[in-house]
Amino acid sequence: MHGAPCAGMTFTVGSAWALVAAYNGASDTAGLLILPSALWISIASTIIVGTWQLNPVDEQTGELAPLYPSKGESRLAAEYEAAARS
């Protein structure tokens, strides 16, 4: 993971669990009610990290290929088309 998304996700997950601790300190019921949200944020963050790890590295530049679609020809698009034809 790189840069701001990594820090943003870390703060989001941390704040969700801090919220659970704060609510639980006020009322056990409140802590249990907010717990599923914190669990889901943690699971979603794990899924996002897995997606980032699947992001291929461009062999020419050594940088991660973007996950968003782009216009024009790309090496990756050509590989997908060749795989689809076979």
Question: Total domain count for the chain?
Answer: 2
Q: Which residues pair with 25 in a beta bridge?
A: none
- Same domain for 49 and 68? no
List, for residues 48-82, the tens digit of each pLDDT value.
888 777 777 777 777 776 666 666 656 666 677 77
Which range of residues forms the domain containing residue 10?
1-54
- Same domain for 32 and 70? no
- Same domain for 45 and 4? yes
Which range has the worst mean pLDDT, 4-8, 45-49, 66-70?
66-70
* Between 45 and 7, residue with greater pLDDT: 45
- Same domain for 46 and 71? no
Query: pTM for this structure?
Result: 0.62
Ramachandran region of residue 77, left (φ > 0), alpha (ψ -120 to 50) or beta? alpha
- Same domain for 48 and 62? no
- Same domain for 75 and 39? no
